[in-house]
Structure 1
Amino acid sequence: MLVHFTTFPTVDCQIRFFLEHLVRGLQLPSKKEMYSDTALERKRRIAEGMRDQDFHKLGDDLWPYLEYLSSTAGFKPVPPVVQKMVQYTDVQRVVNLQGYKKHTYKVTDSHSFETI
């Protein structure tokens, strides 16, 4: 499970989505549909044990959310390598708390990376 918020890919996708709405007139669902979707999402998360005060936390829903934004607005999705790097870093925070920030990564292709 994703523990920390991944700022850069999240904000990047949200801004691209917003710009598609402003510049190209991306049609958003009606207000009623958005409220209904939010209510269903809240119900699902409560059933999974999430507290109301944590509703803004995406956790494992982050990557499907970013995929939804990119597919709906028609821009390139976040490359899979970014998700892999985030997941690797989350593990390193636990097993190597004092050293994980010193890691340097090299992206080898859109699906893989290596530490150097």
Structure 2
Amino acid sequence: MFPRTPIFSLLRSAAKPVSVPVPARYFSTSPALKDAGSTLPAKKPVGAFRGGVLGFLAGSVTAGTLVYYYILQEYRTANEMLSEDIYALQLATQQLQSYVVELETKVDGLQKKK
């Protein structure tokens, strides 16, 4: 089984069970104190299946709610950024349109002079 070396014999001797001394007197309560009648009612154990299903559903609902609000916040942020870009594009288009109208009036003025 194990080679005969001092380390293995030391480990083998350490693994042997140690006898525990038995006390001469046990600690116990008297019968009068045991029958006090103030014991709590026994709790009905929750089954592993029912507890597991309820825990899973509670966790899923919590995670789903958090994900919903996170996605809603991201949607609002993206929508605001898109709206800002649309307004900037609209402003740039109006400026370009006014510039083109100004150029057309200058060109018409130059053509009339000729």
| Interval of TM-score (by shorter of Structure 1 and Structure 2) | under 0.3
When Rg is computed on C-alpha atoms for both structures, the one with the higher figure is 2
Per chain length, whose mean CA-contact separation is higher, i.e. which structure has more relative contact order (CA < 8 Å, sep 6+)? 1
TM superposition score normalised by structure 2: 0.23
TM-score, normalised relative to structure 1: 0.22
Higher helix residue share: 2
